[in-house]
Amino acid sequence: MIEPNGPLPQSVYWRRRAVAAGFSVLAMVLLAWLIGGLVEADDQHPVQGTASASALGGRASGVTSGRASAPPSSPGPNDPRGSVTASPRPESPTARPETTAPPPPPPPPGPPGPCPDAAMKVAATPDVPAYRVGTRPLLRLVIMNAGQVPCTRDLSRGLREILILAPDGTRLWSSNDCYGPPQQDVRVLPVGQPVEFPVNWAGRTSAPGCPLDRKVVQAGTYQVVGRLGALVGPPAPLTLT
């Protein structure tokens, strides 16, 4: 560095140089700041005729040009452009689930039909296999619907009967011999549910019309048979001792 020369002290010349250098640095900073401001202003105002990035995404602050940004002019009443109104976006149809009408309920079932003979089971049995002579054996007539559906059957007293037969098949006693005129008894028989009719036998013979001459049945083995109309059940043994 060149040493300062002059009539004044050296320190004066060094201070002058320091002040001059400081002004130079300050001038350079101001110059850089001005240049940076101009560059930034140029970046914010694109050249006329080119669309800015904000214009591509939608109008944010009107149309930009090379000149300073100015508020957009409103179209006059006779301006063919008119006022721009955003058209409503059509609503997408909402998918509605298809509704199917429920099927109509089935008609109520009609009354049960009559029970065919093939669907009926008839049986008569003593309450115990053996009784003493002179007692009153308890006999049971069992009727059951063995078909597939409920049905109706006339179980009137005149149609149901318990018979006591001798070993050779002779008719000794009937549960219908000594009873008055029967009344009709039509019932609905569920499937598989037996209906029982208990009868106590006096241990004596009987005949149609209920004659008074009745004899005590002696000891032996006899057959108990059940009947419902034309249906006759299998015989069951009954022993009198």
Integer Cα distance of 7 and 2 in angstroms: 16
Report whether pLDDT(140) > 60. Answer: yes
Integer Cα distance of 188 and 153 in angstroms: 7
Report whether pLDDT(22) > 70. Answer: yes
Two structure tokens written together for 191: 């499937």
The β-bridge relationship of strands 138-145 and 120-126 is antiparallel
**DSSP 8-state assignment for residue 118:** G
Report whether pLDDT(2) > 70. Answer: no
**CATH number attached to the domain at 117-240:** 2.60.40.2360
CB atoms within 10 A of CB 142: 16
Integer Cα distance of 146 and 82 in angstroms: 93
Q: Determine the pLDDT at residue 61.
A: 42
Report whether pLDDT(220) > 70. Answer: yes
Task: Write down the pTM of the prediction.
Answer: 0.55
Please enumerate in sequence order all residues whose Cβ is within 8 A of that of 133, keeping only pairs 6 or more positions apart, or say none: 203, 216, 217, 218, 219, 240, 241
Among 220, 216, 219, smallest CA distance to 203 is for 216
C-beta of residue 214 within 8 angstroms of C-beta of residue 168: no
Two structure tokens written together for 84: 């721009």
* 34-43 core/surface letters (b: 16 or more CB in 10 A; e: else): eeeeeeeeee
The β-bridge relationship of strands 195-200 and 130-131 is unpaired
The partner residues of 130 in beta bridges, in order of sequence, read: 239
Report whether pLDDT(20) > 60. Answer: yes
Interval 164-209: pLDDT, tens: 999 999 999 999 998 877 778 999 999 999 999 999 999 999 999 8
Among 153, 145, 149, smallest CA distance to 121 is for 145
Tell me the domain boundaries of the chain: 1-39, 117-240
Tell me what the mean pLDDT of segment 144-160 comes to: 94
Long-range contacts (CB closer than 8 Å, 24 or more residues apart) made by 236-240 = 236/123, 236/124, 236/125, 236/126, 237/129, 238/126, 238/129, 238/130, 238/131, 238/137, 238/139, 238/164, 239/129, 239/130, 239/131, 240/130, 240/131, 240/132, 240/133, 240/137, 240/203
CB atoms within 10 A of CB 175: 22
Q: Determine the pLDDT at residue 141.
A: 97
Tell me what the mean pLDDT of segment 111-128 comes to: 95
Residue 119 exposed, middle or buried by CB count within 10 Å (0-12, 13-18, 19+): middle
Please tell me whether residue 122 adopts helix, strand or coil conformation: strand
